[in-house]
């Protein structure tokens, strides 16, 4: 019964890992049709920015309290409220993108509890089972990445129109449905952290006290001093690998729309399916980590299984020997989107109340198509004449001048690169977290795990902004060339310092054993001196 309860308490954390990754996924890009790719980069970055700021603070708070329940419960409540805030975006008539930005920031604040989840797993596991426990939390994150795109693909049939919950005020469509699902998940997770369900265990400290025959856990700190060089090296490595993985979250939708000529709904659907398939591979990888670590060094698995495959995944995204992608007139699409948004979404449709000046502006844009908007046209005809409000204009926008010069990325390259990424990423992040926790020993790890989480968040802040800026300004070759170089440099660094980042389990011995060991060491040194003297 004790073992089952112990497993249950870990499963609560694994469910939390699912919650914070099954969150809106790729739906952000279409929540405000007038928000450009650059602003959406800031929206994506708002989440990790808040998480980066608050992770060390929440970790410090948890260390001071000596308990994780209160910080966890408060963060879950913030998560649920923020998800509802995002899903209520239809209630806002102006500046929706800022409403979306704020809700994303508060979700990031709530996600700061990931740091104390990692810290708790380090404290609630034995040294020998640390790798398995961390791999399971990574597995939970992967399941979240599966459920996120899968749920998004399932709600795509709701379309842009969806259905009204409160007529002309609040509706559920393919962009807000996932937010309401996140609210439901938050309620379930909140229940799981009630005192009657979840009980904290401090296994690592007791294990160290028994092995070292100490009566106080603080006495075990003296024998195991943290390896700060190894810890900071791993934190930087965590930054690099998450930065590169952010390409999927930031560029998956706009990249496939630009390079393959997919519509929004097609991109959300097919990219969601592809990421879900890749995540299935990640599940197998995460499950295999504890077994692999029995036969191979954890550092070698991290380097050659994680960083090497991630580097390959980035390099294969560099396009070559192909025609440029399809291109559309960006100004025309913006005019069509703006016109339809004003006409159909923010007011009741009445063909006799059209803004004549807006129609005349569109008439000029349509002159080359010999198709003019008239006041007496029906809604269906208006959509038909405006290329379905601009949605049927697909490909690379004309404002990205490099689209006409660089070869397009192929679907084959996109799929292979994605699969390599989903194989290498769980190996990298799982073993980095495991190695950091082992280097820190039995000390409270809230602040350090907050710094580790903060490093990943920093990459998620810089990643969307830098990647979208480089991609929009310079194209695919510069974007994936720079990220490939980043991965290769990190790979070489980790290989060179492999011995330094390999943790060693230290177990104190009793006085008799220590005395015997000292005698043996002295005897070995004397024998070596005799051998040297005999040679000369």
Query: Which residues lie closer than 8 Å to 512 by C-beta, 6 or more apart?
Result: none
pLDDT at 353 over 50: no
Q: Are residues 12 and 64 in the same domain?
A: yes
Give pLDDT tens digits for 445-499. Answer: 778 888 888 898 888 778 877 888 888 889 889 999 999 999 999 999 999 999 8
Q: Are residues 156 and 104 in the same domain?
A: yes
Neighbour-count burial of 167, counting CB atoms closer than 10 A to its CB (0-12 exposed, 13-18 middle, 19+ buried): exposed
Give the rounded distance of the alpha carbon of 391 from its chain centre.
Answer: 28
Give pLDDT tens digits for 275-297. Answer: 778 878 888 888 888 888 888 88
Q: Which among 392, 420, 444 is the end of a domain?
A: 392
**3-class DSSP assignment, residue 170:** strand
Q: pLDDT class for 239, splitting at 50, 70, 90? A: very high
- For residue 171, list its beta bridge partners: 164
Q: Are residues 336 and 291 in the same domain?
A: no
The whole-angstrom separation of Cα 500 and Cα 360 is 70
Give the mean model confidence (pLDDT) for residues 76-105.
Answer: 82
- For residue 327, list its beta bridge partners: 396
Sign of the four-CA dihedral 16, 436, 56, 461: negative
Q: Are residues 311 and 358 in the same domain?
A: no
Question: Where does residue 261 fall: left (phi above 0), alpha (psi -120 to 50 degrees), or beta otherwise?
Answer: left
The whole-angstrom separation of Cα 366 and Cα 373 is 8
Q: Which among 392, 426, 441 is the end of a domain?
A: 392
pLDDT at 85 over 60: yes
Give pLDDT tens digits for 136-151. Answer: 777 777 666 666 666 7
Q: If you search the block for the tokens 């998450």, which residue do you land on? A: 242
Q: Write down the pLDDT at residue 215.
A: 62
Q: Is residue 401 part of a domain?
A: no
Cα–Cα distances (Å) from 465 to 250, 458, 459, in that order, read 9, 11, 10
- For residue 163, list its beta bridge partners: 172
Q: Which residue has the higher pLDDT, 44 or 235?
A: 235
Q: Is residue 503 part of a domain?
A: no
Instruction: Name all contacts of 383-388 with Cβ < 8 Å and 24+ positions apart.
Output: 383/340, 386/336, 386/339, 386/340, 386/362, 387/336
Residue 75 contacts residue 107 (beta carbons within 8 Å):
no
Q: Are residues 423 and 275 in the same domain?
A: yes
**3-class DSSP assignment, residue 68:** coil
Give pLDDT tens digits for 168-219. Answer: 777 787 777 878 888 888 888 888 888 887 777 776 666 666 666 666 665 5
Judge if pTM exceeds 0.75.
Answer: no
Q: pLDDT class for 403, splitting at 50, 70, 90? A: confident
Q: Write down the pLDDT at residue 496.
A: 93
Q: Which residue has the higher pLDDT, 405 or 382?
A: 405
The whole-angstrom separation of Cα 319 and Cα 323 is 10
> Up-side HSE of residue 180: CA atoms within 13 Å toward CB?
13
Least confident residue range of 92-96, 121-125, 269-273, 503-507: 503-507
Q: Which residue has the higher pLDDT, 128 or 269?
A: 269
Q: Is residue 397 part of a domain?
A: no
The whole-angstrom separation of Cα 134 and Cα 320 is 39
Q: Which residue has the higher pLDDT, 223 or 358?
A: 223
Give pLDDT tens digits for 149-158. Answer: 667 777 777 7
Q: Is residue 14 part of a domain?
A: yes
What is the CATH number for 465? 1.20.1250.20
Q: Are residues 75 and 95 in the same domain?
A: yes
Neighbours of 421 (CB within 10 A): 26
Neighbours of 216 (CB within 10 A): 9
Q: Write down the pLDDT at residue 497.
A: 92
Q: Write down the pLDDT at residue 491.
A: 94
The whole-angstrom separation of Cα 118 and Cα 280 is 23
Sign of the four-CA dihedral 224, 227, 232, 238: negative
Give the mean model confidence (pLDDT) for residues 425-430.
Answer: 88
Written as one string, the DSSP assignment of 237-306 is HHHHHHHHHHHHHHHHHHHHHHHH---HHHHHHHHHHHHHHHHHHHHHHHHHHHHHHHHS-HHHIIIIII
**3-class DSSP assignment, residue 396:** strand
pLDDT at 411 over 80: yes
Q: Write down the pLDDT at residue 390.
A: 54
Q: Is residue 501 part of a domain?
A: no
pLDDT at 376 over 50: no
Q: pLDDT class for 520, splitting at 50, 70, 90? A: very low
Residue 115 contacts residue 63 (beta carbons within 8 Å):
no
Q: Are residues 237 and 336 in the same domain?
A: no
Q: Are residues 468 and 485 in the same domain?
A: yes
Q: Is residue 206 part of a domain?
A: yes
Q: Write down the pLDDT at residue 303.
A: 94
Q: Are residues 442 and 520 in the same domain?
A: no
Written as one string, the DSSP assignment of 356-389 is HHHHHHHHHHTGGGT----TT--HHHHHHHTTTT
Written as one string, the DSSP assignment of 32-67 is STT--HHHHHHHHHHHHHHHHHHHHHHHHHHHHHT-
Q: Write down the pLDDT at residue 3.
A: 36
Q: Are residues 462 and 413 in the same domain?
A: yes
Neighbour-count burial of 290, counting CB atoms closer than 10 A to its CB (0-12 exposed, 13-18 middle, 19+ buried): middle
Q: Is residue 208 part of a domain?
A: yes
Nearest to 332 by CA among 312, 362, 302: 362
The whole-angstrom separation of Cα 429 and Cα 440 is 17
Decide the pairing of beta strands 396-397 and 327-328: parallel
Nearest to 420 by CA among 270, 302, 312: 312
Q: Are residues 318 and 342 in the same domain?
A: no
Q: Which among 392, 420, 441 is the end of a domain?
A: 392
Q: pLDDT class for 132, splitting at 50, 70, 90? A: confident
Greatest CA separation found in the chain?
110
pLDDT at 410 over 60: yes
Q: Write down the pLDDT at residue 14.
A: 44
Catalogue the E-assigned strands of 46-184.
163-166, 170-172
Domain span including residue 370: 330-392
Average pLDDT of the chain? 74
- Backbone phi and psi for residue 488, each to the nearest 5 degrees, phi listed first: -65, -45
Q: Write down the pLDDT at residue 301.
A: 92
Cα–Cα distances (Å) from 248 to 99, 274, 284, 463, in that order, read 24, 11, 20, 11
Q: pLDDT class for 385, splitting at 50, 70, 90? A: low
Written as one string, the DSSP assignment of 314-348 is HHTTS--SSPPPPEE-HHHHHHHHHHHIIIIISS-
Q: Are residues 218 and 110 in the same domain?
A: yes
**3-class DSSP assignment, residue 165:** strand
Q: Is residue 502 part of a domain?
A: no
Q: What domain count does the chain have? A: 3
Sign of the four-CA dihedral 169, 174, 175, 176: positive
């Amino acid at each position: 019964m004790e073992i089952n309860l112990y497993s249950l308490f870990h499963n609560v954390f694994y469910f939390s890992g699912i919650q914070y990754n099954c969150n809106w996924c790729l739906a952000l890009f279409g929540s405000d049709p007038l928000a450009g790719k650059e602003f959406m980069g800031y929206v994506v970055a708002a989440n990790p920015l808040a998480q980066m700021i608050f992770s060390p603070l929440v970790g410090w708070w948890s260390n001071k309290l000596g308990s994780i329940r209160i910080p966890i419960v408060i963060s879950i409540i913030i998560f649920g409220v923020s998800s509802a805030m995002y899903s209520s975006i239809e209630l806002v008539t102006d500046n929706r993108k800022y409403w979306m930005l704020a809700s994303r920031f508060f979700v990031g604040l709530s996600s700061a509890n990931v740091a104390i989840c990692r810290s708790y797993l380090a404290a609630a596991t034995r040294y020998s089972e640390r790798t398995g426990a961390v791999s399971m939390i990574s597995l939970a994150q992967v399941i979240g990445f599966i459920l996120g795109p899968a749920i998004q693909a399932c709600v795509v049939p709701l379309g842009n129109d969806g259905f009204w919950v409160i007529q002309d005020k609040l509706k559920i469509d393919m962009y807000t449905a996932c937010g309401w699902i996140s609210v439901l998940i938050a309620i379930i997770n909140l229940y799981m952290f009630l005192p009657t369900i979840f009980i904290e265990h401090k296994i690592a400290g007791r294990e160290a006290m028994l092995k070292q025959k100490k009566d106080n856990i603080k006495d075990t700190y003296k024998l195991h001093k943290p390896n700060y060089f190894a810890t900071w090296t791993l934190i930087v490595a965590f930054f690099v690998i998450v930065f590169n993985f952010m390409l999927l979250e930031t560029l998956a939708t706009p990249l496939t729309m630009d390079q393959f000529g997919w519509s929004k709904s097609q991109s959300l659907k097919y990219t969601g399916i592809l990421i879900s398939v890749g995540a299935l591979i990640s599940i197998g990888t995460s499950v295999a980590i504890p077994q692999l670590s029995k036969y191979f060094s954890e550092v070698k698995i991290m380097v050659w299984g994680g960083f090497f495959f991630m580097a390959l995944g980035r390099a294969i995204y560099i396009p070559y020997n192909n025609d440029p992608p399809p291109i559309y007139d960006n100004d025309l699409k913006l005019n069509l989107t703006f016109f339809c948004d004003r006409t159909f979404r923010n007011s009741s449709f009445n063909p006799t109340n059209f803004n004549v000046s807006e129609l005349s502006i569109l008439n000029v844009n349509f002159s080359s198509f010999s198709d003019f908007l008239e006041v007496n046209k029906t809604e269906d005809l208006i959509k038909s004449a405006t290329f379905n409000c601009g949605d049927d204009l697909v490909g690379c926008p004309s404002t990205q001048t490099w689209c006409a010069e660089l070869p397009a990325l192929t679907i084959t390259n996109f799929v292979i690169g994605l699969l390599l990424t989903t194989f290498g990423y769980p190996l990298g992040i799982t073993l980095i977290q495991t190695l950091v926790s082992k280097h820190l020993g039995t000390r409270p790890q809230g602040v350090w795990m907050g710094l580790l989480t903060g490093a990943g968040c920093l990459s998620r802040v810089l990643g969307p902004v830098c990647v979208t800026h480089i991609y929009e300004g310079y194209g695919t070759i510069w974007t994936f060339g720079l990220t490939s170089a980043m991965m290769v440099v990190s790979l070489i660094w980790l290989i060179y310092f492999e011995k330094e980042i390999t943790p060693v389990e230290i177990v104190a011995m009793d006085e008799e054993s220590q005395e015997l060991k000292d005698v043996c060491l002295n005897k070995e040194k004397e024998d070596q001196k005799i051998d040297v003297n005999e040679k000369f």
